[in-house]
Copies of this chain bind each other. A is one copy, B any other.
Amino acid sequence: MKRKITLKDIARELDVSISTVSKALKNSEEISRDTKEKVQAFARLYNYRPNNIAISLKNKRTKNIGVILPDIVHHFFTTVFHGIEKYANARGYNVIACISDESFDKEVINMEMLANGSIDGFIMALSAGTQLKNDYNHLRQVTDQGIPLVLFDRVTDEVACDKVVINDEEAAYLAVKKMINSGRKRIALLTSEAHFNVSEKRAEGYYRALREHSLPVDEELVLVLPHMYHEENLSEGFFRRTNPDAVLCVNEIYAVRSMRHLQSQGKRIPQDVAVIGFTDGILSRYSIPSLTSIAQHGELMGETAARLLVDRIEADFRDMDEPEYITEVIKASIIDRESTD
């Protein structure tokens, strides 16, 4: 077991000073060809690599970025993460990932853990708990210290920072409009509890589309489901009772479950009922019938967030005092599949 070698080791071995070794390895003009070759050969032989931690301490930058996600079972967050990771790596950054599990407390703990020097900046989507509690002091604490922060998807106006969102309202509007244009009249909305910013926005788009096409707004046709989809049968009675000819769901799990219940009630999709779901994930692609869905372009969102963050991290400190924060809007798009006509 050959232990990790340091500048000091090389210096001792070659009987030169540490600073000479350091310079030689950087190919400094100051050092004689002879010495440089000797040092470099030795370093190569023993596979010398500078210690990241020491460099971090010296430079006060870690080349790590902290990512805090509410969960990782939702395909959407997975793709965002991938986008972040890809972009960050390309610019020489590592990604430290933490999962808040939708809990306020875990989010706070994770942020504090990372904020003490481990990372140069944060990318995160707010946990359900945080949105419910409406407490953003831990975020402000971070930004107050001058640590750059980028929020995506689940954002808040309460914190001044860069943001990346999708046009949820517009996407829902277009989806409903699409179904109206193909002749649907009784369009149901399956949404989740309202403290999720995004659900709210999607509901707004739903209502706007109805209004603009002079369809009656029937609150009976709106079903609010709990965020965790434990109970299998919640929506079964709903469909029997309300008998819709189209359904918009705020995620693909609701959508697939809806199709399942509708089919078991003898409905054909899309002939009798059209279904569209948010999140163009694996379920949408492989369900039977495959699901027309609203792609949120998670990977692009991740890349965008990472770009904003790295730019901010590497921004000149001259113009640090009064930054103009940016909110980038990613356009969602509808992917047509078999569940609509």
Contact at A52–B118, with CB atoms within 8 Å?
Answer: yes
Q: Inside 8 A of A257's CB, which chain B residues have their CB? A: 286
Which of B78, B86, B144 contacts A2, CB < 8 Å?
Answer: B144
Q: Within A113-171, which residues are at the interface with B (CB < 8 Å)?
A: 113-118, 141, 144-146
Q: Is A64 part of the binding interface, using a Cβ–Cβ cutoff of 8 Å?
A: yes
Q: Inside 8 A of A113's CB, which chain B residues have their CB? A: 94
User: In angstroms, how far is the closest chain B Cβ from the Cβ of A279?
Assistant: 11
Closest residue on chain B to residue A88 by CB atoms? B98
Q: Which of A49, A253, A263, A282 has the most CB of B within 10 A?
A: A282
Q: Inside 8 A of A178's CB, which chain B residues have their CB? A: none
Which of B89, B99, B118, B288 contacts A82, CB < 8 Å?
Answer: B99
Docked Cα-Cα span, A98 to B67, in Å, equals 12
Q: Which of A75, A118, A141 has the most CB of B within 10 A?
A: A118
Q: Is A28 part of the binding interface, using a Cβ–Cβ cutoff of 8 Å?
A: no
Q: Inside 8 A of A73's CB, which chain B residues have their CB? A: 75, 78-79, 82, 282
User: In angstroms, how far is the closest chain B Cβ from the Cβ of A235?
Assistant: 13
Q: Sort chain A's interface into a size bin.
A: 35 or more
Q: Is A43 part of the binding interface, using a Cβ–Cβ cutoff of 8 Å?
A: no
CB-CB under 8 A for A145 and B4, given A49-B112, A51-B116: yes
Q: Inside 8 A of A85's CB, which chain B residues have their CB? A: 97-99
Docked Cα-Cα span, A52 to B115, in Å, equals 9
Interface locus among A53-61, A306-314, A324-332: A53-61
Q: Inside 8 A of A288's CB, which chain B residues have their CB? A: 256, 259-260, 263, 287-288
Q: Is A72 part of the binding interface, using a Cβ–Cβ cutoff of 8 Å?
A: yes
Q: Is A27 part of the binding interface, using a Cβ–Cβ cutoff of 8 Å?
A: no
Q: Is A230 part of the binding interface, using a Cβ–Cβ cutoff of 8 Å?
A: no
User: In angstroms, how far is the closest chain B Cβ from the Cβ of A19?
Assistant: 19
User: In angstroms, how far is the closest chain B Cβ from the Cβ of A204?
Assistant: 28
Contact at B145–A118, with CB atoms within 8 Å?
Answer: no
Q: Is A315 part of the binding interface, using a Cβ–Cβ cutoff of 8 Å?
A: no
Q: Is A206 part of the binding interface, using a Cβ–Cβ cutoff of 8 Å?
A: no
Which of B47, B53, B75, B89 contacts A53, CB < 8 Å?
Answer: B53
Docked Cα-Cα span, A62 to B117, in Å, equals 11
CB-CB under 8 A for A117 and B3, given A98-B89, A288-B287: no
Docked Cα-Cα span, A257 to B288, in Å, equals 10
CB-CB under 8 A for A2 and B145, given A94-B98, A283-B286: yes
Q: List 7 A-B contacts (CB under 8 A).
A: A51-B116, A53-B53, A75-B282, A82-B99, A94-B96, A253-B286, A256-B286
Q: Beyond A2-B145, A95-B96, A253-B286: 15 further Cβ-contacts under 8 Å?
A: A1-B145, A3-B146, A50-B116, A51-B117, A54-B117, A72-B82, A75-B282, A81-B97, A85-B97, A89-B110, A94-B113, A256-B286, A256-B288, A259-B288, A282-B283
Pairs of residues from A and B, 3 with the lowest C-beta to C-beta distance, nearest first: A51-B117, A53-B117, A52-B117
